[in-house]
Amino acid sequence: MTPHQFLKKYKYELLLFGLFQHLFMALFVGNLDTYRYYFWPANMILLGFTSFGVYLEHNKKRLLILRILIITMCSTPVLSYFVGFSSNVLIFLSFSYVAFFAYVFYEVLRFLFKPSYINQDIILASGCGYLLLIEIATFTQQAIFYFGSAAYKGLDISHPTATFVDFVYFSTITITSIGFGDILPNTHYAKLLTALIGIVGQFYTVVLVGILISKFTSRKE
C-alpha cells in the first residue's frame, strides 16, 4: 500500500489520532519545556500529515491552500525558538491554527452532510468534527487572551504551554456544557465569545444527532 492509498483509506482514523495527540499529549509529558522543544514540533508535523487525507480527492487549488496553512502552522515552533513567546508570536500562532482547523473542519462537515448512509467513516468524522471545534475554540480564545491578558481569570500564565493546556480544558468544558467555573471570562468580548462557543458546541451536537439518525433510517429503508 502506497502512502497515498494509506492516507486515503484511513483518513479519518489518522485525523482523529492527530487531533487527539495534539490536544492531550501533555497528559503524558510532565515537563512543559520538554513538551515545547520536542513534542510540540513533532505533533504539529504529525497533525499536518494526518490532515492531508480529507483533501486528497480535491483539486490542486484546495490542496495548495492546505499546504500553505500547514507550512504556516508548522513554522510557529521554529519562529518561537528564534524570537521567543512574545504576544505577537502567540497571536500569529493562534490565528494560523484557527485558519488551519477551520479549513479542515469545513471539509469534515461537507463529508458528514454528503452520503445518505452511515458507516465507520461517518462515525470517525463526527468525532473529528467535535475535536476540531475544541481546537478552534482553544486558539480563538487564546488569541483574545494575548490581545488583552485581562480577558480571562484563573489561567496558569507561568508558561505558554500551561496557558494552552488551560484553554484546551476551558474550551472542552464549555463545549460540553460542564462549566466548573475555575476559569472565567472577564471582559465583555471574552464572555460573549464563551457564550457563542457553548451555543456552537450544542448546535453541532444536535445537528450531528439528526444527521446520524437520518442516515441510519435511510440505511434501514
| Residue linked to cell 502512502 | 3
What local confidence, expressed as pLDDT, does residue 34 receive?
83
What local confidence, expressed as pLDDT, does residue 178 receive?
87
Residues of the chain with pLDDT under 70: 115, 215, 218-221
Find residue 152's DSSP bridge partners: 185
What local confidence, expressed as pLDDT, does residue 55 receive?
86
pTM: 0.93
What local confidence, expressed as pLDDT, does residue 91 receive?
92
What local confidence, expressed as pLDDT, does residue 195 receive?
94
pLDDT of 152-195, one tens digit each?
999 999 888 899 999 999 999 999 988 888 999 999 999 999 99
What local confidence, expressed as pLDDT, does residue 218 receive?
64
Which positions ≥6 away from 85 have C-beta within 8 Å? 160
Which positions ≥6 away from 108 have C-beta within 8 Å? 15, 54, 125, 128, 129, 132
Closest CA to 24 of 178, 201, 168: 168
183 three-state secondary structure:
coil
38 C-beta neighbours (distance < 10 Å), count: 12
Domains, the chain: 3-220 (1.10.287.70)
Q: Tell me the CA end-to-end span of the chain in Å, nearest whole number.
A: 35
What local confidence, expressed as pLDDT, does residue 166 receive?
95
